[in-house]
Amino acid sequence: MVDEEGRIRDLSTVVADINSDVLTDSALEVLRSADVSSLPLAEEGARLGACVSGIGKFLCIGLDYSDHAKEANMPIPSEPILFMKATSSIVGAFDDVIIPKGSQKSDWEVELGVVIGKTARHVSEADALSYVAGYCVVNDLSEREFQIERGGQWVKGKSCDTFGPIGPWLVTRDEVPDPQALAMWLEVDGVRYQNGSTSTMIFGVAELISYCSRFMTLEPGDIISTGTPPGVGMGQKPEPVFLREGQQIRLSIEGLGIQQQNTVAYS
């Protein structure tokens, strides 16, 4: 937990982990009532893992920003494009990103992650945000050849090991009054490629939760990664720009913290 001075406090004396058991409204209220000043400070330089553990489903929405669809020369979808990332891709916000073996087109995508806090089936759009435990930054890394040129299944290009950094923070929904008004950006080696806002989402957070809950039960700890604004490597002009080993990625969403990853070769 981050205290009022921005220091990281150790919650292990309060909860065993940040998982589905901790994401309900009542469980989060227990965390809010904790005496933060009495909690030990985290060790200097301690690794920050994924901000949620035991994730059951890692759902993703494709082409959910009008300006990104234009960049990709693809029509604005009439319904959300839904796919999944393997949960084995999940890592912490500051962990290394491994360029996959044989990769030629590894790419970046800053996205707003929505963490589900209670079981959702056929929920209405009006009630959908009450099912949110909180929000986080997601880097929806993608290998474009695997994604687009290898048989049409996006999951192959989205699920490589380390291709799902989440965090650093799970920010509870009361701290995000309007998820459709968040600035977001991504840089590679200090060059800003993405500079957008959730205000240009085609399908907003509430609509996405309602939509996904029609096709499957959403459970506490599930994550919906809600799409990316323009500026991905695949869309750069005059030539695409893709990731290689030895680079640094930094990305952020307003109020949700900053991620930073170094890219390393597969070994």
User: What does residue 224 show for φ and ψ, rounded to 5 degrees?
Assistant: -110, 115
pLDDT of residue 73: 78
Q: Are 225 and 87 in contact (CB under 8 A)?
A: no
Helix (H, G, I), strand (E, B) or coil at 21: helix
Helix (H, G, I), strand (E, B) or coil at 98: strand
Strands (E) located in 144-247? 164-165, 171-172, 183-188, 191-197, 223-225
Question: Higher model confidence: residue 115 or residue 63?
Answer: 115
Residue-range domains of the chain with CATH: 1-46 (no CATH), 48-265 (3.90.850.10)
pLDDT of residue 66: 83
Quote the percentage of the chain above a pLDDT of 70: 100
75: confidence class by pLDDT, cuts 50, 70, 90: confident
Compute the distance between CA of residue 71 and CA of residue 54 in angstroms, rounded to an integer. 35
pLDDT at 267 over 80: yes
Compute the distance between CA of residue 59 and CA of residue 237 in angstroms, rounded to an integer. 29
pLDDT at 63 over 90: no
